[in-house]
Structure 1
Amino acid sequence: MITSIFNGERLKLARRFNKFTLLELAEQLRVSKQMVSKYEKNLSQPTGEMMFRIEEVLGFPRRFYFEEDFVYDKVGNTYFRALSKATKKDIEAQKIRVDFLSILYRLVEEYIELPMQKIPELDVDGMTMEELAQEAREYWGLGEKPIKNMVELLEVNGFIVSTSKMNLEVIDAYTQTREINGKDTYFIVLGNDKGSRYRRQFDAAHELAHILIHEAYLDVSTLSKEEEREIENQANDFASAFLLPKEAFTRDVSMMPTNLDHYLFLKKKWHVSVGAMVRRAYNLMIIDSDDYTKLQRTMGRYGWRKAEPLDDKSEPTSPVLLPKSIKTLLEHDVFDGYSILEELSNIYQFPIRENMLEDLVGLEQGTLAKYRKKRSGVVVELKQRS
């Protein structure tokens, strides 16, 4: 509910979403760090002029800061790749992103019949990663076929996938489970920075592994660094086995297992990077440690660690469920470019600007503007003639 009182928690939320420290925001607002702290702790209220600066710097409309705190259902752990290298403010910003995505998901679910969740129940304790990956493939009827589009596979089976321009080298992707309307909902966010369709395939499979084989509501702060590494290694092993099924991949790679040109040929078939295939061949003992080391050195010499051949020949696969859902609501006049923002503000206490909504769900910038309807507050009615 909107109030006439500035809510400092909302300022803190907007600051963290934008990855500002107290000092960095203070510098942007041209006030002291102590004053920003007072705003966030509700010990002082910003002036009208200061509110203009806050809106300009943080990108949220004024009303955002006069709403009550968000109330979320049960929120699980967020599994980040390379978590140990990510900064605290990077992690906080991405967690808030999922908070916002969950609000948009609730709006969409209210009006759109979303794909039903189809998620295998796996015996995690009694099976190897190889067996778990094979059982998941069988559950979704994949057989030994290559998976051309991991993002599509996730979306048709009820996972909520989004992309984010993270501008980070240390976070490729992350996943989170949260309870919404009494059921677990699975969010996967993939980085948009590296631009490789083949790496995105592996990132998506890695995040799927966290959902299928790791505890959703685990408190990761209780884990040691070794346990964190083990979780990441398990996810990598599952992703590798899921994307490159043992028997079919072995048949293909065994023809020329030490030839990088052969791996490039297989890259077109399996839609997985050469680096991932070489590692898989080593794990399956198709090549020995000497062959593996030689291939790694050759890839390093060619510069394939940063970008492989074929990476620039196709765009990364993109999620379509959320953007298509929003466009459907607009195209069928459930909302227009104005009223969808009003709905988010009035019903979900989430006032945002249209460019932020478009970024969160992956819509092309300017999409909402195309669906604006001209409005006038002047009402003209015909007189009733007797």
Structure 2
Amino acid sequence: MQGNLNGERLKKARIYRGFSVSELAEKSGCSRQSIYMYEREKTKRVDLNAIEALARTLDFPERFFCESDMKAEIGSTYFRALLTTSSRYREAQTQKMEFLADIFVFLQEYLEFPHRTIPDCSGQTPEEAAATLRREWHLGTRPIENIVALVESNGIIVTKFPVETNDIDAFSQLVRIGDEDIYLIGYSENKTAASRVHFDIAHELGHICLHGWSEDIEKIDRDEFKEREKEANEFAAAFLLPREGFAKDVAVNPKSIPAYTELKRKWKVSIQAMARRSFSLGLITMEEYQEIIRTMQRRGIRKQEPLDNILVTASPTLLKTAVMMLLTENVFTPQEFMDELSYNYNLSLYPKEVESLLDLPNGTLEKPKTVYLSNLKLKE
């Protein structure tokens, strides 16, 4: 290892892997005290063998721990399940978003990405803000076929993330690098039904349009957090099911589960969310809405709704396409891409890590293997 240890980098790698200091100490064979000292840079004496063991355990290149950080300022992070999800999972996902933002800054040097178009919705109700965003994005009152592609086309980074828990549905984050604000939305790859993914992403759009990003969300009042979640849900419903378009469709039979099932094909929204929207639009009473939910519960279709296995949404493609374009247009070889990320953007990761972050096919960024033609042989 060359250069001085950056303790903050060690901490980031540990958080990224979801390890506590004690767990990392046990897995690496290093003492807890040493790890604490390294992370806080309380010592100038660095045991190179210990750093090698930590790098091996965390599966990061040793160079990563010597690099200075990009000047990224992490803003607020909105988690839908903040009150039930462990801080360890939240911190790990937040760290992944920071790495994604760093990679995005690199890619922007070579490619022109869609311009971010988020209107000023300050002072608006969730219903008004949803209508404002629909106008800004020229959606009219029609259904949204693919919310992932829609959001990406309007300059917001979307990513799927693997998690070991079903507690995290989705989250959104602001990362500020220099003068640029980068909004990112992540959603769990455990959720594949289009109706669930659409609502999760629309919910995060609600936070982006409606709420502040300068404060620590984990420190706000519990009731205030619940109110923001309620507003984001109302925004999502209004954005996905606009009053004029949806009310016209549902008014024919607003109390029928089979009717909602057919509408689900068109609107890509869950039966339960459509029934709730019908209530908020005054098309059914609270008692009628609750009866729909009770009926679904009795039939065993509340957690796994009809069409959930059929209606699926596309995966994010913006960053993946960007990397593949640079490779296919011979701007970089895979090795040159990784070197550029490491030496000019201070983000030394193994190829498999970048592939995982960007959902690239395995081996995309690996060094090409030498191929020998079968009709040639070495001289004896």
Asked if 2 retains the 8 angstrom alpha-carbon contact of 1:337 and 1:373, the reply is: no
Q: Is the contact between residue 2 and residue 63 of structure 2 (CA under 8 Å) also seen in structure 1?
A: no
After superposition, the Cα gap between the structure-2 partners of 1:128 and 1:335, relative to the gap in structure 1 and judged at 3 Å, is: same
Q: Contact between 1:336 and 1:372, CA under 8 Å: does it hold in 2? A: no
User: Alignment RMSD, CA only?
Assistant: 2.0
Deviation, structure 1 residue 198: 1.4
Aligned partner of 1:8 in structure 2 is: 7
How far apart are residue 6 of structure 1 and its match? 2.9
Q: Tell whether 2:258 aligns with 1:261.
A: yes
**Deviation of residue 57 (structure 1)?**
2.2
Residue 368 of structure 2 aligns with an amino acid whose one-letter code is R
Name the SS of the counterpart of 1:261 in structure 2.
helix
**In 1: Cα distance, 2:246 partner to 2:324 partner:** 39
Letter in 2 for 1:259: S
2:55 pairs with 1:55: yes
Determine if contact 1:120/1:139 at 8 Å carries over to the other structure. Answer: yes
Distance between the aligned counterparts of 1:22 and 1:74, measured in 2? 24
* Other-structure match for 2:354: 357
Aligned twin of 2:239: 242
Instruction: Give the residue type in structure 2 aligned to 1:34.
Output: Q
1:219 Cα deviation (Å)?
3.5
Question: Residue 160 of structure 1 contacts residue 188 of structure 1 at CA under 8 Å; is this kept in 2?
Answer: yes
Evaluate the alpha carbon distance shift between residue 6 and residue 368 of structure 1 in structure 2; reply closer, same or farther with a 3 A threshold. Answer: same
1:23-172 map, 5 Å: 23-42=22-41, 43=43, 45-48=46-49, 50-68=50-68, 70-122=69-121, 124-125=122-123, 127-172=124-169
Tell me the equivalent position of 1:372. Answer: 368
Residues 212-256 of structure 1 deviation map (CA, whole Å, 9 limit, x = unaligned): 111122333552100000011100000100000112211211222
Counterpart amino acid of 2:37? K
Match of 1:296 among 276, 293, 296: 293
Judged with a 3 Å threshold, the aligned counterparts in structure 2 of structure 1 residues 147 and 64 are, in CA distance, closer, same or farther, namely: same
Structure 2 gap segments, 5+ residues each = 372-380
Q: What's the CA shift string for 1:309-345, capped at 9, x where partnerless?
A: 2111244321111000000011111111111111111
Offset of 1:149 from its aligned partner? 0.7
Q: Equivalences for 1:138-217 in 2 at 5 Å?
A: 138-217=135-214
Count of residue correspondences: 369
AA partner of residue 263 (structure 1): Y
SS at match of 1:82: coil
- Change in Cα spacing, 1:315 to 1:365, as seen in structure 2 (3 Å) is farther
Partner of 1:384: none
Identity in percent: 38
1:378 matched to which residue of 2? Answer: none
Cα shift at 1:307: 1.8
Q: CA deviation at 1:195?
A: 1.8
Q: CA deviation at 1:165?
A: 1.0
Q: Residue by residue, what CA displacement relative to the aligned partner does 1:100-159 show, whole Å, maximum 9, x if unpaired?
A: 01110011100001112222222x32x332222112212211111000011111111111
Task: Give the alignment partner of residue 227 of structure 1, picking from 215, 221, 224.
Answer: 224
Q: Deviations over 1:20-62 (max 9, x none)?
A: 11111112113432333233334352443x4443233212112
4+ runs of 1 displaced by more than 4 Å?
Answer: none
Find the partner of 1:339 among 330, 336, 342.
336
Distance 1:47 1:214 in 2: 46
Q: 1:380 is matched with which residue?
A: none
2:375 is matched with none
Q: Is the 8 A contact 1:3 1:67 kept in 2?
A: no
> Please, what TM-score do these two structures have when normalized by structure 1?
0.90
Please give the secondary structure, in 1, of the residue aligned with 2:277: helix
1:162 is paired with a residue whose SS is: strand
Take 1:86 and 1:180, find their aligned partners in 2: how far apart are those partners?
28
